[in-house]
């Protein structure tokens, strides 16, 4: 069953049934002020950090789901309804939610009254605009009563939901004209307040939740709306809200437009007060005046469209498959940008409280957006590297508000440091900006311990070299990329975290996944060293890479596939000798991408084993057979039911590693088969089963041993987005930035006639037309650059500011 459709021309997903299988959401904001909004107007808003600067309240795991948001109540005679369907849930004559690029539009109607709500955050602005349009399509006059509603969060979202004995006594508001100000704790230690305004004289307001709703009512039937007028309540403690009340007369055919703004203000300490206990409202008034007319709002919305035109125009393709085109041109790139902004912090599956920006996460995310905003990619790399220690280890996460590392989810994940080599080399290949390597970057955010960024890369490389186990394979530490493979934990206490509990000493658990990762990015480190003239360092590093290859060939091969690990006691994991968990995806992906033992047939055997044992209708599962009992020496991975998450689930993040490895073998049909199994636009007809949004990737799809194979969870914030964009554009479509130019190396299904990609690279535009007359998967017969034949498949750097015609013939 479908719940909507793609509108590729307008870059929107159009939802036509509000009762989606799960809330389908969008993100507003592009810099440091953000909102999450669902297809029924649920969600919340925050500045920079969803934990410490949350403006509006949201309750996760609620009943009914997705209760709480930015709502409007329309009272038209005896009928009350909402443009987003919720919270009132009156059956509408027409409902439509259009999720676009950083904006969402609701367009609904009931009893010949049309309502449209457009939500967006102007570029570089600390406020969300809600343009509300009401139109009377009947032949009689309508007297409408409109109520807005938001619920303020008391800033710290974690404290807000736990420390009730204090928070029920701290809420403070001010109301002046048509603006409701939230100033809780402003007179103490805060220099910020929030406000909710409308550009029209109001007939009333409410700021106390109990007064507005009634103590025993839900959001669908507030007392104030039922009675048809506000009570002008002023919150003192308890739970402050903001609700405007407007009476609107609409003659037949008449239309009324209103501009609501939810804003955030910071002021200097000596400018906090207008008079005693009266806040300085000038910054808020300045913000309100910037968007107090429809013309100003429409202009800002057009600027937002142009902004996304520019971002999405850096890479675009034209194939014969609209599902592929919309993923590459629109939704995959859009999700990569959202994930860059959020990391794993705030979605409808991540509360914004428990996690900051991940070290490994943010490094990997960069490969999906570096082509769009390279200057911010560079800034992100420096932020990440600044949370590293001199020995190469690092904080696993850091807070977006302070950019300081934190150990809230543990440390010593031994794969973490290597991802810095990925992000740095990806950035330099895209931009040619080697100056990053000379920038002085702190260790542990301590400027006195700063060294050139290149020294951070060396520290990352040698952290592996200096932490090897008895098989000369990398020690896993607390865990590797798979946080749930906790080989040194041995947890028997259900109240402790597998990731933060103190690991047992003296273990020799080793990771084949890190071994493959080290070879891939060890080679990249060597290549970078040679690029900058550090040949001696390159030669030394190459010896360690070769030693790792030897160690994997000798101790990491099980006969038909690569082992996954050695446990705390030196026993094999991911071997045919095991009863459960015989084969894992991570080591097959990384050791195959590293091409370890390729000349011996190991890579081909490994990938064949993936197809035989791990593949299913909905993607490639993480391990097989799934664990059916708790293995204390394996940790959290064996706590999940079979087929879910890391225990035999389809962890979409790692599927592209197999896709890339398949392209390196030249098997384009299989690579694209894996791609299309998890790409959202190919799953639209499965929406009832899949549940989450059909326009963005999710983290996990239930695997073949699950109770409900194909059901997905944890959409939006996942490394899946960047890795799939990387795999499809750079390895399947095969147009890949390198230090000296663009590599052309497609590996596509044999049935394809070809495709076209327009790629902006180092301020030049490459219009690349690839034809496949012989219907091969891989191989280049001829390349013409602006009509001239080219030797090899590396297009050199071409003149900036011009469009260059590239003709590629496969064969």
Which residues belong to the active site? 483
Scanning the structure block, which residue is given the tokens 């912090």? 345
Cα(757)–Cα(770) distance, integer angstroms: 8
Cα(689)–Cα(711) distance, integer angstroms: 5
Cα(615)–Cα(655) distance, integer angstroms: 10
Scanning the structure block, which residue is given the tokens 């789901």? 65
- Residue 487 φ/ψ, nearest 5 degrees: -80, -10
Planar angle of CA 261, 372, 590, nearest 5 degrees = 120
Q: For residues 44 and 57, is the Cβ–Cβ distance under 8 A?
A: yes
Q: For residues 150 and 56, is the Cβ–Cβ distance under 8 A?
A: yes
Cα(358)–Cα(364) distance, integer angstroms: 10
Cα(704)–Cα(79) distance, integer angstroms: 48
Cα(173)–Cα(748) distance, integer angstroms: 60
Omega of the bond prior to 603 within 30 degrees of 0, cis? no
Cα(229)–Cα(241) distance, integer angstroms: 16
Q: Which two tokens stand for residue 316?
A: 């675009």
Cα(43)–Cα(68) distance, integer angstroms: 7
- Residue 621 exposed, middle or buried by CB count within 10 Å (0-12, 13-18, 19+): buried
Q: Give the DSSP letter string of 445-494.
A: TEEEEEEEHHHHHHHHHHHHHTSB-TTSSBB-BTBSSSTT--TTT----T
SS3 356: coil
- Residue 68 φ/ψ, nearest 5 degrees: 115, 130
Identify the CA nearest to 661 among candidates 620, 712, 717.
Answer: 620
Identify the CA nearest to 778 among candidates 611, 664, 658, 660.
Answer: 664
Q: Which two tokens stand for residue 285?
A: 């008034």
SS3 175: strand
Q: For residues 558 and 572, is the Cβ–Cβ distance under 8 A?
A: yes
Cα(167)–Cα(239) distance, integer angstroms: 8
Cα(654)–Cα(720) distance, integer angstroms: 7
H helices, E strands: number in the chain: 20, 45
CA torsion sign, 679 to 683 to 684 to 687? negative
Cα(111)–Cα(167) distance, integer angstroms: 42
């Amino acid at each position: 069953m479908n719940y909507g459709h793609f509108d590729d021309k307008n870059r929107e997903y159009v939802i036509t049934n509000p009762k989606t299988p799960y809330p389908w959401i969008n993100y507003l904001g592009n810099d440091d002020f953000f909102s999450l909004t669902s297809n029924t107007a649920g969600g919340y808003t925050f500045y920079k950090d969803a934990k410490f600067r949350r403006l509006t309240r949201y309750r996760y795991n609620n009943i009914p789901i997705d209760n709480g948001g930015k709502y409007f109540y329309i009272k038209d005679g005896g009928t009350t309804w909402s443009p987003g369907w919720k919270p009132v849930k009156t059956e509408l004559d027409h409902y439509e939610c259009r999720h676009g690029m950083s904006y969402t539009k609701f367009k609904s109607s009931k009893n010949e009254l049309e309502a449209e709500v457009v939500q967006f955050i102007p570029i570089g602005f600390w406020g969300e605009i809600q343009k509300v349009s009401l139109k009377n399509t009947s032949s009689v006059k309508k007297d409408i009563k409109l109520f807005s509603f938001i619920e303020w969060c008391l800033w710290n979202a974690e404290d807000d939901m736990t420390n009730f004995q204090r928070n029920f006594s701290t809420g403070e508001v001010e109301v002046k004209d048509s603006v409701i100000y939230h100033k809780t704790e402003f007179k103490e230690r805060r220099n910020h307040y929030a406000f909710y305004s409308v550009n029209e004289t109001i007939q009333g307001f409410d700021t106390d939740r109990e007064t507005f709703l009634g103590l025993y009512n839900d959001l669908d039937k507030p007392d104030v709306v039922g009675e048809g007028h506000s009570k002008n309540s002023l919150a003192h403690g308890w739970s402050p809200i903001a609700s405007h009340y407007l009476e609107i007369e609409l003659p037949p055919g008449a239309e009324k437009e209103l501009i609501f703004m939810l804003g955030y203000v910071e002021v200097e300490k000596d400018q906090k007060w207008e008079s005693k206990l009266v806040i300085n409202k000038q910054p808020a008034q300045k913000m309100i005046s910037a968007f107090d007319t429809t013309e100003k709002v429409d202009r800002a919305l057009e600027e937002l469209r142009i902004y996304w035109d520019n971002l999405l125009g850096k890479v675009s393709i034209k194939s014969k498959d609209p599902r592929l085109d919309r993923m590459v041109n629109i939704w995959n790139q859009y999700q990569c940008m959202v994930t860059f902004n959020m990391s794993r912090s705030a979605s409808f599956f991540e509360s914004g409280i428990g996690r900051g920006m991940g070290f490994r996460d943010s490094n990997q995310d960069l490969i999906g957006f570096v082509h769009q905003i390279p200057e911010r990619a560079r800034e992100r790399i420096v932020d990440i590297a600044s949370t590293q220690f001199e020995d190469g280890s690092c904080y696993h996460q850091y807070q977006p508000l302070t950019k300081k590392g934190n150990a809230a989810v543990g440390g010593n994940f031994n794969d973490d440091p290597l991802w810095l080599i990925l992000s740095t080399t990806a950035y330099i290949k895209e931009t040619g900006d080697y100056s990053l390597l000379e920038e002085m970057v702190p260790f542990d955010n301590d400027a006195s311990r700063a060294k050139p960024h290149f020294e951070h890369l060396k520290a990352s490389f040698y952290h592996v070299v200096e932490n090897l186990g008895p098989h000369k394979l990398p020690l896993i530490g607390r865990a590797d990329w798979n946080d749930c493979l906790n080989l040194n934990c041995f947890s028997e206490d259900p109240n402790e975290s597998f990731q933060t509990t103190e690991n047992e000493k003296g273990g020799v658990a080793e990771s084949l996944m890190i071994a493959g990762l080290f070879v891939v990015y060890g080679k990249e480190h060597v290549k970078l060293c040679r690029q900058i003239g550090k040949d001696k360092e390159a030669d030394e590093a190459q010896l360690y890479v070769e030693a790792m290859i030897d160690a994997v060939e000798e101790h990491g091969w099980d006969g038909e596939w690569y082992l996954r690990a050695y446990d705390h006691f030196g026993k094999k994991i991911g071997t045919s000798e095991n009863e459960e968990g015989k084969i894992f995806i991570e080591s097959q992906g990384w050791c195959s991408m590293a091409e370890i033992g390729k000349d011996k047939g190991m890579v081909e055997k490994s990938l064949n084993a993936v197809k035989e044992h791990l593949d299913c209708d909905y993607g490639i599962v993480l391990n097989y057979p799934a664990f059916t009992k708790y293995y204390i020496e394996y940790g959290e991975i064996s706590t999940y039911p079979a087929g879910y998450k890391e225990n035999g689930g389809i962890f979409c993040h790692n599927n592209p590693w197999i896709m890339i490895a398949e392209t390196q073998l030249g098997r384009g049909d299989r690579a694209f088969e894996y791609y299309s199994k998890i790409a959202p636009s190919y799953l639209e007809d499965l929406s009832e089963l899949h549940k989450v949004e059909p326009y963005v990737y999710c983290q996990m799809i239930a695997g073949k041993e699950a109770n409900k194979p194909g059901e997905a969870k944890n959409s939006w914030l996942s490394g899946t987005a960047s890795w799939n964009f990387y795999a499809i554009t750079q390895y399947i479509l095969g147009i890949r930035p390198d230090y000296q130019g663009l590599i052309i190396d497609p590996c596509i299904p044999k049935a394809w006639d070809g495709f076209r990609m327009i790629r902006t690279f180092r301020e030049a535009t490459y219009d690349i037309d690839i034809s496949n007359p012989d219907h091969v998967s891989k191989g280049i017969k001829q390349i013409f650059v602006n009509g001239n034949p080219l030797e090899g498949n590396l297009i050199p750097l071409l003149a900036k500011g011009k469009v260059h015609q590239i003709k590629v013939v496969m064969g």
